[in-house]
Amino acid sequence: MPDSKSYSKKEISKILTKASEIQVRKDLYEDQETLSEEDLIHIAEEVGISREALHEALAKIGEPDLDEQTYNLIKGTSRIQHASSIAGEIDEEQWEDLVLEIRKITGGIGKVKKTGNTFEWEQRKSDFGYKHFSFTPKNGQTKIQMVSSWGPFKALSGFLSFFFAFIITLIVVKEISGKQLALMIAPFFGLGGFALSRFFLKSYYHKQKNQLSTLASALSRKIQSFNTNSINIENDDVYSFSNDGSLDQSIKKESES
């Protein structure tokens, strides 16, 4: 009898997750290609998910997920974005703390403005690109939207890579085999240089993505900390004063005992 195959913890997790998805499709979806919102609510309630949690998930389904964004080597991706909603509404004073956090992580200074109820931070460099972050407090939450784009930098790096590869090849081959052969070969080396720039942009893409991910996590923690820093006085009688401004004698006795 052949030995049964063993699976690692990571493989077991993937197998069980996949099996769960297959079972859900089999038991709940049957031959249906789509489900209505009411169907989703019914299914969620059956597995113990509240209606409010489902509505929050539905609101986020169209938001760009930073983890799902990948670099396209052919196009040379030059833009990433992130959106999320954090419990708690920020105010003017808290916004200043968030700006300091943004400056610390991005290492730059941007323009700060407020449009309606939305706080905005923007940094633009004509030969490089831009970063734009917005924070909109509404209905007990703050919606964060962040965009980082470096289109001009992508174009510049591609042009310079092509140009230098072309010129260097032209000079070297011209000295060895003559001008005519150099003019025939140089464009191909230029294209090779251009292709190499895409690999350089890939490392830059991951650097920007990691920075945005770090920033999103830091800002989320910061906003959540604003809600835990407040002190609530549950019983005002504990801090009552007598008419002459001194603490009530009964409270004094309790504190002394």
CB-CB contact of 83 with 63 (8 Å): yes
Residue 119 corresponds to which amino acid?
F
pLDDT of 144-177, one tens digit each?
999 999 999 999 999 999 999 999 999 998 888 8
CA distance 20 to 16: 6
Sequence-distant (6+) residues with CB within 8 A of 91 are: 137
Taking the C-alpha atoms of residue 95 and residue 226, their distance in angstroms, rounded to an integer, is 11
Fold observed for domain 66-151+212-226? Double Stranded RNA Binding Domain (3.30.160)
Range 117-121 contact pairs with CB under 8 angstroms and sequence separation of 24 or more: 119/90, 119/95
pLDDT tens track for 121-130: 999 887 789 9
Average pLDDT, the chain: 79
For the chain, residues classed under CATH 3.30.160 are 66-151+212-226
Say what the pLDDT of residue 237 is. Answer: 47
At 184-227, the pLDDT tens digits run 999 999 999 999 999 999 999 999 999 999 999 999 888 888 87
Distance of CA 165 to the CA centre of its chain: 36
Would you say residue 112 has pLDDT above 80? yes
Q: What is the DSSP letter of 229?
A: S
Phi and psi torsions of 84, nearest 5°: -160, 165
In angstroms, the CA 72 to CA 198 distance is 9
Please check the confidence at residue 251 and state whether its pLDDT lies above 50: no
CA 155 and chain centroid, separation: 24
Q: What is the band of 37 on the pLDDT scale with cuts at 50, 70, 90?
A: low
Using alpha carbons only, give the angle 149, 152, 153 rounded to the nearest 5 degrees: 85
pLDDT digits (tens, 9 = 90+) for 52-105: 666 666 655 656 677 788 999 999 999 999 988 888 889 999 999 999 999 999
% of the chain surpassing 90 pLDDT:
42
116: phi then psi, degrees, rounded to nearest 5: 65, -120
Residue 195 has a pLDDT of 94
Tokens at residue 204, please? Answer: 């830059």
Of 122, 151, 123, 116, nearest to 134 (Cα)? 122
> Each residue of 214-249: b (16+ CB within 10 Å) or e?
ebbeebbebbeebeeeeeeeeeeeeeeeeeeeeeee
**Pairing mode, strands 141-149 and 129-138:** antiparallel
Angle (nearest 5°) at CA 12 between 9 and 16: 145
